Structure 1
Amino acid sequence: MKPTLQKLLLYRSVNTRTHGVRHGSCRAYRYERHTKSEKDKRSNRGSMHSHQRHGFDYTPLFRFLLSKVGHPWDEVFSEAKARLDRPEPIFWMVAMHESDKEESVRTDENSYYSGLWVDEAGLVQKVNPMLTPEQMGPFSDYDTHTFNGVVFAQSSARKRWAKPTV
């Protein structure tokens, strides 16, 4: 009997308990809970535990999907779905309808990936295969941005202020 190789998951857990990690749901509640107007609405206030899922990085999924351009969608979807905790992140990057197509998809604060779609033949395709970071628009000179997992070239303004290496 041959041992079967288990494929790696297409997401990873990220530490969310570190000091300074902020999530969108807790900040709004923290600033409104002691106001006079909120004291009258205590029965209407929702749970302190939102149903948002924090602490997952889907970068391996996005790289997997980019590597499957030109492959049949049914095979790609079934493999990705089997290696994920839930199927929704697949559709952050892959458009199933013509009206949902986007040239680039922002997956994090400074991470961008090529948008994908399923063509009439059922194959995964890039929305704009010739897209480069320079065509996407102006970005901050002081942040590090990535496009399809590759860091953008630094602008001349950032290089000018960088410390020289010894």
Structure 2
Amino acid sequence: MRSHQLHKSFKLYRSVNTTTRHHSNNPGAEYRWERNRKKVGDELLAKRETMHGRQKRGRDYTPLFYFLVKQIGKPWDKIFSEVCGRLDTTVPVFWLVALHEHERRDLVCIGESSYYPGLYVDGRGILQQVNSSITGKDVKVTCRCCTHTYIGELVPWMD
């Protein structure tokens, strides 16, 4: 198998152990309570539904974000078709990539302290960075207890 073919087979996300100490599980609403709030006409449906919620927890999409940043200047259709085959859902793609002008942001924060440049698809269908002059120096470090990063690089605390 050629190296570029091997590269395309890797997933662009990884599973995270959400049962470890000090890890927020992003609990959200309890699906078991929502399940029994169905209307009377939906009784049969409510009985057949499972107790499993609709959120997928324990996913780290950092490989996806690195991949997208490396694809700046390339055709969006090719990028998106490759991404679709390597993800469990395409929703995280649009955390970074704005499809509409009003959604564009210079800097995107994923999680509490991981920053990436905002991306968009231009009129020619090419993936572009919203503001190419953005660097790690533009990240505002809000507290000393967190490790802030810009595309994986440590952002130092400025006094």
- Report the Cα offset of residue 82 of structure 1: 1.1
Q: Does 1:24 align with 2:26?
A: yes
Alignment check: 8 A CA contact 2:13 2:60 kept: yes
State which of 108, 112, 123 in structure 2 corresponds to 1:109.
112
Q: Percent sequence identity over matched residues?
A: 41
Give the counterpart letter for 2:25 in structure 1.
Answer: H
Alignment check: 8 A CA contact 1:10 1:83 kept: yes
Query: Which of the pair has more CA radius of gyration?
Result: 1
Query: Which residue number corresponds to residue 12 of structure 1?
Result: 14
State which of 50, 54, 58 in structure 2 corresponds to 1:51.
54
Alignment check: 8 A CA contact 2:99 2:121 kept: yes
Q: Secondary structure at the match of 1:25?
A: coil
Query: Which residue number corresponds to residue 68 of structure 2?
Result: 65
Alignment check: 8 A CA contact 2:139 2:155 kept: no
Q: Secondary structure at the match of 1:112?
A: strand
Unaligned runs of 5+ in 2: 31-35, 39-49
- Report the Cα offset of residue 154 of structure 1: 3.1
Query: Which residue number corresponds to residue 78 of structure 1?
Result: 81
Query: Which residue number corresponds to residue 132 of structure 2?
Result: 129
Instruction: Please give the TM-score of this superposition, normalised by the length of structure 1.
Output: 0.74
Could you say what the CA RMSD is over the residues aligned between the two structures, in angstroms?
2.8
Alignment check: 8 A CA contact 1:25 1:50 kept: no
Unaligned runs of 5+ in 1: 30-42, 157-166
